[in-house]
Amino acid sequence: MRTATQQIERAANSLARCLAGARERQQQDRWLWGAGAAGLVAGVLLTLFLLRVLPGSVDMAVASTVMNDERWKAGISLMQSGSPGGWQSIVDASDLVRANTDALTRCAAAAAKAKKDQDCTITVSAPTR
């Protein structure tokens, strides 16, 4: 009877240890999931806010990488979405300068030679839109 009682006690202790180990594993799993979720949230927040404090050359490279485009095209996309009217003004000014490159070059040379401001004549195309 004594031997049977000891065996039952050993079996009960063994079951208690197994149950305690299972509870510890469940707690560890909860901590692991919590740490993973916290790491994910921290990573997203760092990605959003850390990029604002990076030096200019790095943040531009990150922006072009995020936009999956070269820097020039990514910059154009950002300007177009940020200020469509402002972007159109830049395009119009660029078109005006490109159409009058020769006249502007001659005028700049005359201003440099005379060492004073010059009045110049340029051609402005009629809008096609």
Residue 126 within a domain: no
Domain membership flag for residue 84: no
CA 102/CA 119 separation, integer angstroms: 15
Give the pTM: 0.52
12: in domain: yes
What does the block give as tokens for 104?
């502007």
Cα gap 126→85, rounded to integer Å: 19
Is residue 114 in a domain?
no
Range with lowest mean pLDDT among 40-44, 51-55, 80-84, 89-93:
51-55
Does residue 94 contact residue 101 with C-beta atoms inside 8 Å?
no
**Is 42 part of any domain?**
yes
Residue-range definition of the domain harbouring residue 19: 1-51
Residue 9: inside a domain? yes
Total domains, the chain = 1
- Is position 24 within any domain? yes
* Residue labelled with tokens 């078109």: 95
- pLDDT category at 63 given cuts 50, 70, 90 is confident
